Chains A and B, each alone.
Chain A
Amino acid sequence: MTDPIRVEGLTVRYGKTLACREVSFSVAPGAVYALLGRNGAGKSSLVRCLLGQQKASSGRALLFEKDSWSTRRRAMERTGVVPEEPDAPPAMSARELSAFCRRVYPRWNADAVGARLERFGVPEATPFGKLSKGQKGEVLLALALGHTPDVLILDDPTLGLDVVARRALSEEIVGELADRGTTVFLTTHDLAGFEGIATRVGILKEGRLVVDEDLEALKARFRRIRYVNRITETRTDFGNELDAFDALRVQVRGWGIDAIVTNFDEAAFERFRAMDGVENVSAEALSLEEIFVALVGEEKGKSS
């Protein structure tokens, strides 16, 4: 089975500014791919290219093995979209929007849409423009799932939503995944909310894709190591005790040293702990948010 989403050497340029630089990745069927990045990292540009709403400066984005710019209309028959800013004709109610979608999609389950809206507690007869932001997002999610898409693309769907709305949205996605195994591609700042859903993670930093791997593998190789370094007469390698690791960030605190390493493994850690003068050693797993902050929040290096 081919990957329903593939991005090859995608570059997006706005004048002299590069939003995306040679980004390549793919999303396997049934996977939940979370693309992370700070504001302005290029996530939305990438999503628009993926949806065929923007032409890449170079490279290409493929949906279902076809260039999404040139085959957008066909691709959208099998794709559900929840945009960053929930937007729809303001005068149309959710029911009218569903009726409109029924005419444009080859298959449309109006009952499922109605059921979801009822579950969300969104009034179906209220004009879209008069709904709250959370309700708008829920309407668009319901519409995005109305044609039982093979791929669901969400561009920061929880932006500006309260905790309840965020939870409802993520639960709905989980439910969709459980029901149909839909492939999901999402960008988000709500790392905690989607950590339990995502199977694979990509991290964009200044337009470059610096991470593209399975979430479990990512979390397995990232550790925070804390220790105290007591200088002994026998040691000649002071300051180089972390050489066995790829230390992303090393901070000297009053109590000792705090380091985040990106290639943690138990054997190397045991050798580190056995080093002369290294004491009170501990290794902690990092959350996705901590990994993200470590990767894009600060420059690599030592600080104090």
Chain B
Amino acid sequence: MLFVAAAIAAAAPFAVPWLHGLHGVDSVDVRRGTALALSLVFLLGTTAFIGGTRLPRAIAERRIGFDLARPLSTAAIWGGTLCGTLVLAFGSALIAFVPAALAGDAKAPWSLAGEATAWWALVDVTEIPVPWPVLVFAAALLAFGLFSAAGVAIRARSPWIVFDLLAIPAAALAAMYGLIRLGWAGVGFEVSVRALVLVALLVVLALLLAGLAAVARGRTEIRAAHAAQSAVLWGTIAAGLLGLYGYGQWFLSAGPTDLTKIETVRAASRGPWALVAGRARGADASYLYDTAGGRYVRVLSGLREPIFSGDGSVAVWVQWLWKSTRLRVVDLRESHPSPHTVVGLAHGAWGLALDATGTRIAVIEEGGISVYALSTGRLLASARIEESMTRAFFLGPDRLRIYTTAPSDKSRLDILELDVSARRLTRTGSIAGLVGWPFLGTDATGRRLVCMEYEAKRTRLFDASTGALIAPLSDPETFSGGFRFLSDGRILLVQRRGRERVLEIRSPDGGRVGEIPFPGGPLQPGPQRATAIGGEPAAGQLVVATGVAGDRNSYLVSLDRGEVRRLGEHLWPAARWLSFFGPPNSMPPPGEPGATLFQADDGSIVRLDPGTGQRSVILGRDLH
């Protein structure tokens, strides 16, 4: 009867192209598409219908007694029903599909089926080597198991249905939370999708096992069948979810010593703490790491890289949690630092700024900026700023300097100050005629501002408050793209002299003081060599690094004597001035631990004493 219905339905695709509104569409495509849809309807409809009626009805009405009275195992009874259902389902699907397939070329319909299978995209993304027929087969199994379980539950009318109804959303939420937790743990999208597929397969497996249990343990008692079904279904799903949680926990429990590849090391300006990020157990992992004591704090699901307060006592980052984002703060002075949520952010955060002692934080959000007290999470002040590119730093606990691109003129940078206690926003100046988005940097006092424009290939020194030009620092002839304020207020620039590069030292007001040949020789053709201006291990000494990945070298430059000494191969300074915006106090002053911390190309973190050359591995393998 089913096959006859499928055979009749198989004629429908040939009529569809004639329908009004489909003129002009390729009739072959319409025919094949209709046939594919029909075959899926027959496939899933048949498995759902037989799954929902055959065994549930047989158990409820004790018709299964015929099978149970034979020397057949319950697994054979259940499996036979499943196989019979699949034969009917795939048979009818094939009958509905084949005529349209034969009408075109023999190969195209199957490729069309592959393309039309929504799962295909998932397979493509996850790179799971599962052909689409297997996924269609899994969908058929899911339909059978799902409707069989529903059929038993509805016919049993037992109290277990209350448990089922409660367990469905609970399991869905638990699965969702488990998958989100994987995201927090830093696993990549592919692993998350694979986990999602595994969860889906687990549901299919659980439904099939539950159906088997309903027959094996219930036999002719529908209520006992429902009880067994629910126990196995939710037991299996619970076990799977525990596995998912365990899998997530395995990632979450990874410590800094599990990092196999350290990709980022960024030292706090003061104190022993550094941000260490890389890959641990195959997932992205970020830590705040005490390079002196070995303590660490896992940075979970950080939407933005953590920032340290000027004194290195507090770190803050934005964490994505469920549907909201939260501001997480950790007091690094505690013996066992533990992050806690300060405030929930409705719209995320585009940027953060901490004051020097870590008592207040400014959060740059969509359409404005808000200042919170870190101890209480209380909103102290907020201002509406309608632009897309805003950077800010604290001049003091109550004064926030804000640089923002003018809404009406993208080439103008407005300079604003937010008086936190008075909750008053004042425009103090502006810089006009900018080309592209500038890189900005301020000195420790917040009085001078270096503005580097990559597109215009120029660097200029401005009054940080009014935007008045103090001095041009580089032009397209000399521009090379690196600068930093030194701890004594002088400005260091990486400049070009023909094919050579030099470290040019400027006075606080922009006057030329001198220059030193850039370490590592002239620019070579080939891959762009990166440059990093690192910390100052001692007053008048500066770490500079250059090279390409896998071949990077750090040098110690004596700024006053103009001497350059190679510190070591394959080293990259952990404190460096390369951020999009360098606020005051973001570089370690001379003598701070961060100035002597390096990231080695082998993935380890080392401390190098520039004076003695003594090198010790802080984290990772010691290959030297």
Contacts and interface: CB of A to CB of B under 8 A. Distances in A.
The B interface is mostly helix, strand or loop, or mixed, namely: loop
B71 A74 contact: yes
A283 interface: no
B66 A76 contact: no
Nearest to B70: A104
Interface string A180-208: 00000000000000000000000000000
Contact of B72 (A48, A53, A73, A88): A73
Q: Interface size bucket, A side?
A: 20 to 34
B166 interface: no
Nearest to B72: A104
Contacts of B70: 76, 101, 104-105
Interface of B: 62-66, 68-73, 217, 219-221, 224
Contacts of A77: 71
8 contacts: A48-B62, A51-B69, A53-B62, A53-B64, A54-B219, A74-B71, A81-B65, A105-B71
A53 B66 contact: no
Contacts of A79: 69
Contact of A81 (B62, B69, B73, B221): B69
A181 B437 CA distance: 101
A52 interface: yes
Given A87-B63, A87-B65, A88-B66, A55 B71 contact: no
A249 interface: no
The 6 closest A-B pairs by CB, nearest first: A81-B69, A76-B71, A77-B71, A53-B220, A53-B68, A53-B219
Contacts of A81: 65, 69
B55 to A, nearest CB: 13
B84 to A, nearest CB: 10
B66 A87 contact: yes
B224 A83 contact: no
Given A48-B220, A53-B220, A55-B221, A83 B69 contact: yes
A127 to B, nearest CB: 13
A155 B217 CA distance: 22
Contacts of A101: 70
A66 interface: no
A54 B64 CA distance: 12
A26 to B, nearest CB: 21
Nearest to B221: A54
Contacts of A52: 68, 219
A72 interface: yes
Nearest to A74: B71
B81 to A, nearest CB: 11
Contacts of B71: 73-74, 76-77, 104-106
A72 B221 CA distance: 16
Interface in A77-110: 77, 79, 81, 83, 85, 87-89, 101, 104-106
Contacts of A51: 65, 68-69
A29 B221 CA distance: 30
A53 B222 CA distance: 12
Interface in A33-79: 48, 51-55, 72-74, 76-77, 79
A230 B237 CA distance: 81
Nearest to A75: B71
A73 B73 CA distance: 6
Contacts of B217: 55
Given A73-B71, A77-B71, A83 B219 contact: no
Given A53-B69, A74-B71, A76-B72, 4 more contacts: A48-B65, A73-B71, A76-B68, A106-B71
Contact of A83 (B66, B72, B73, B221): B66
Contact of A55 (B62, B64, B65, B224): B224
A81 B64 CA distance: 13
A89 B65 CA distance: 11
Contacts of B219: 52-55
A189 B71 CA distance: 28
A289 B119 CA distance: 68
A72 B220 CA distance: 13
B80 to A, nearest CB: 10
A79 B224 CA distance: 25
Contacts of A53: 62, 64-65, 68-69, 219-220
A18 to B, nearest CB: 15
B63 A54 contact: no
A54 B72 contact: no
A120 to B, nearest CB: 19
Nearest to A153: B69
Contacts of A85: 62
Contacts of A72: 68
Contacts of B64: 53
A77 B70 CA distance: 7
A227 B224 CA distance: 55
A300 to B, nearest CB: 34
Nearest to B64: A53
A257 B68 CA distance: 52
A85 B69 CA distance: 13
A79 B69 CA distance: 8
A101 B219 CA distance: 20
Nearest to A14: B223
B217 to A, nearest CB: 8
A55 B221 CA distance: 9
A105 B219 CA distance: 20
A99 B70 CA distance: 13
